[in-house]
Structure 1
Amino acid sequence: MRAERVTRVHRDGRRELKSLDQVSLTVSAGEVVAVTGPSGAGKTSLLHILGGLDTGYQGRACVAGTDWQTLHGSERARFRRRTCGFVVQGLALLPQATAAENIEVPLLLDGVAPGARRTRVAEALALVGLEDQGAKLPDQLSGGQQQRVAIARALVNGPALILADEPTGSLDSTTAASVVRLLLAAARERGAAVVLVTHDPQVARHADASARLHSGRLDTPVHESPKE
């Protein structure tokens, strides 16, 4: 994953506000980079651009060698499903679907055959230690287990890039540490690049490197940041 001199400008009446200002970032396969910073610093804006959800920016953002701004409409959506996995604080699990059915959603959208779907869902459940929980509904699972389902869903398509936006924000510190270790270990095992947005220094310390966003600027060169 590579972003080069990315700038995102929003208009507020006659004013122009930069949520991102000349941001550059490279994350290699199997590498985890934590992005920290105060609320409003531009962290979520950065994730939206890296994941192809927002293309109204200047600069370049590439995943698996493809520039998002060269893709359009359904082509962009298809590429996103196949190359990006998202883990968010709100989970966005379907309440009436089982854990296995929630994990299966990206495969259904991508037209994967039923037999292959079953195999890949079983592998994803095992990867996050929930091989015996696939038939349960979200409200039958603990908060940590629900987050593991969300992680499995993000990984099931074998993405090149995982974007995690405050994935442990609603969890207690012990569960949060367990979940983030699981996410990062699974991503590294699959060879995915990971961008992890967090306000929690205890979560950030699990990353290979960290960077701080403030007022849209990436203050710390990522690969020069010592890992705590």
Structure 2
Amino acid sequence: MVDTDEVMGTSAAVRDYFGEHYDAVSRFHARLRDEGEVRGLIGPREVDRLWERHILNSAAVVPFLASAGSVADIGSGAGLPGIVIAILRPDAQVHLIEPMERRTTWLEEVVADLGLANVEVKRGRAEEYDGALEVDAVTSRAVAALSKLARISLPLVRSGGELVILKGRNVEQEIEPARKILRKLTVGEPEILEGRTIDGVESTTVLRVRRK
């Protein structure tokens, strides 16, 4: 039986997309494949589709963080998208914020294994860093609805910075319930963007709001 995940991961398209960072991304993928399910980081059905559903999906947010010198990934979990961002943006300081000890242990191991000098793993909830951490951009993936994400994430975003999050296709339905908190935190109009990676892989929905 053909391992479609491995075929994709070793393809010229994926190698070209990640370029000089391919080896590090591939090592991260290998660790997720070998340890992710056992350590409770990913579900059993995700092991065979890591490249498309998780690695490339996470990478799709990186172009929208091009001007960010510092990024916080809240609820970082397995390191998606935070580790991928850190690999592709070695010039940016990346903070991985995760409340669960077993997950921060994993993140610290991966950071050490890949030699990611630009990463700091922080154990705790995003709310705990209000006033203690300020970054150019906050991101997250599959963490919560926009109303909650805005409340816990935007206080970490500097004035003029952005909340740039990976969301599902129905994200537009989350905007109206979040209006009150968005107005309170003085941000611009939310933008729904399309994050693309390689041909044949479904694009990723990205929502961006800028703090005034």
| TM-score over 0.5 for the pair | no
Higher normalized contact order (CA 8 Å, seq sep 6+, divided by chain length)? 1
> TM-score normalized by structure 2?
0.36
- Kindly name which structure, 1 or 2, has the bigger radius of gyration based on alpha carbons: 1
TM-score (norm. length: structure 1): 0.34
